[in-house]
Amino acid sequence: MLNLSLEIAMPFEFYILVIPFCVIPVFLVSLDYLNKSTELKRKNYNVIDFDKFLKRKEEGDAVDSDIAELLDIDKIAA
């Protein structure tokens, strides 16, 4: 009877020891993947289309347009 109780307790202890070593690495790899993907998205958001930037600078913003209108200037040099 003693032998049987040891066999039953062994798988339970085995799972208690093995499950954290299986779950924690998967969790850490998932966190690393999420961190890298958000970092990549953040880098992509910071990319500026230079042509659009120049076009907007040529047009000027509302303040530049008002100043140019007051000074009777046709083009805004930014």
Task: Give the pTM.
Answer: 0.42
**Rounded Cα gap, residues 28 and 39, in angstroms:** 16
Return the CA Rg of the chain: 32
Q: What percent of the chain has pLDDT over 90?
A: 18
Report, as an integer, the average pLDDT of 51-74: 71
At 1, the pLDDT band (50, 70, 90 cuts) reads very low
Yes or no: say if 56 and 76 are a contact pair by the CB < 8 Å rule: no
Alpha carbon distance 62, 45 (integer Å): 25
Contact status, residue 60 vs residue 76, Cβ threshold 8 Å: yes
CB-based contacts of 75, cutoff 8 Å, min separation 6: 58, 68
Is it the case that residue 30 has pLDDT exceeding 90? yes
Task: Write the pLDDT tens digit of every residue in 45-54.
Answer: 766 777 777 7
